[in-house]
């Protein structure tokens, strides 16, 4: 089978991508900023149902520097470029996100080109597709791009949009080699493989452990990480994925208060602290200048973005789990691993 470089091997999505690649018989080389995390990644892969002792190796490389990327890509048939910063709070300077996302993507693409890689699959985001358009009845598709001129677009959507556009420009200007396919997930939930997981699952964690007493009036699409990993594999191997973007979304978007309701229905007393009421928008906006997390949320209040998964279904035969399955799998893993210790509602 093929040898595949997976960047950011310690990440939530990357861990599941490594699992599906190994299960499909591919050899995987995972990049890490520090090789000291290799044992953690092996444990995560083992928890996901794959054997890390057969076909998994590691290389040290950081998106913020050139060192290591040529060696990382050498001898690889494919690259899964999953690594990218995902903050829970907005940075003081948006370049803290934009620069590593854009420059890191270009570093990986140059290394892939020089190594003769066949195809790069880039993990972008729905944040590069559907932001800056307010509430829109028509579902977003892969033909849409985030409007960077809109004040609703914060540092993270900017970083993902700029990085993805830079990737497409690179492929066009470099003559189309290697091939490029892009996966654009919405908020990613699902089973956490280890206690160090970050990303969107922190929303579920905060609901279960009582840190989110009230839910902001904020909506988003959901997708299970196992389905995101499956889509990455399909985008890597299917000839029809060449030069295409694919939105990864399970179905209709949900308000955050409805996510809390699903948790209470699924876990009962263990989810007693999940919010039952929404915090008024005016309070969020009042506090936003003083609370970094709320500053990031405020422009998104009241917006519910619908997205279509028709392209991934019809072109690649992708079939995702439901929103409820993704939410339940997240809560189950967090509780089982002891990542969250439920508190009584109060």
Residues annotated catalytic, as ranges: 160
CA 248 vs CA 35, 133, 294, 313: distances in Å: 30, 19, 26, 10
- The H or E element spanning position 265 is helix 256-267
Nearest-10 crossing angle of helices 155-173, 95-115:
20
Q: Say how far apart CA 76 and CA 73 lie, in whole Å.
A: 6
Nearest-5° angle of CA 181, CA 233, CA 66? 60
Name the DSSP class of 224.
Answer: E
Q: Say how far apart CA 130 and CA 86 lie, in whole Å.
A: 17
The phi, psi pair for 78, rounded to 5°, reads -140, 160
Identify which of 177, 168, 308 has the alpha carbon closest to the alpha carbon of residue 244: 168
> How many alpha carbons lie under 13 Å from residue 161 in its C-beta half-sphere?
20
CA 51 vs CA 18, 120, 144, 271: distances in Å: 10, 24, 39, 33
Q: Say how far apart CA 38 and CA 60 lie, in whole Å.
A: 10
Residue 158, both tokens: 């900017």
Whether 182 and 122 have beta carbons less than 8 Å apart is answered as yes
Nearest-5° angle of CA 119, CA 125, CA 127? 145
């Amino acid at each position: 089978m093929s040898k595949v470089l997976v960047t950011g091997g310690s990440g939530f999505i990357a861990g599941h991508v490594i699992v599906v690649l190994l299960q499909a018989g591919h050899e995987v080389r995972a990049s890490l900023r520090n090789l000291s995390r290799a044992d953690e990644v092996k444990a995560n892969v083992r928890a996901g149902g794959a054997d890390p002792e057969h076909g998994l190796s590691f290389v040290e490389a950081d998106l913020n520097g050139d060192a290591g990327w040529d060696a990382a890509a050498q001898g690889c048939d494919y690259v899964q470029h999953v690594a990218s910063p995902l903050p829970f709070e907005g940075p003081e300077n948006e370049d803290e996100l934009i620069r590593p996302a854009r420059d890191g993507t270009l570093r990986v693409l140059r290394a892939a080109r020089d190594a003769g890689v066949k195809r790069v699959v880039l993990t972008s985001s729905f944040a590069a597709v559907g932001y800056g358009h307010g509430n829109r009845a028509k579902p977003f598709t892969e033909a849409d791009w985030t409007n960077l001129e809109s004040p609703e677009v914060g540092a993270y959507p900017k970083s993902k949009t700029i990085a993805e556009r830079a990737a497409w420009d690179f492929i066009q200007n470099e003559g189309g080699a290697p091939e490029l396919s892009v996966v654009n997930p919405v908020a990613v939930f699902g089973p956490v493989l280890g206690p160090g997981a970050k990303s969107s699952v922190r929303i579920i964690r905060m609901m279960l452990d009582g840190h989110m007493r009230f839910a902001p009036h904020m909506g988003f699409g959901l997708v299970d990480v196992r389905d995101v990993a499956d889509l990455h594999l399909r985008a890597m191997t299917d000839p029809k994925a060449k030069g295409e973007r694919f939105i990864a979304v399970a179905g209709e978007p949900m308000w955050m208060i409805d996510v809390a309701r699903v948790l209470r229905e699924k876990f009962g007393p263990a989810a007693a602290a999940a919010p039952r009421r929404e915090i008024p928008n005016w309070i969020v906006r009042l506090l936003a200048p003083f609370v970094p997390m709320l500053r990031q949320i405020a422009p998104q209040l009241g917006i519910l973005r619908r997205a279509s998964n028709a392209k991934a279904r019809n072109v690649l035969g992708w079939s995702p789990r439901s929103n409820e399955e993704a939410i339940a799998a997240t809560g189950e893993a967090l509780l089982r691993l002891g990542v969250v210790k439920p508190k009584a509602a109060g």
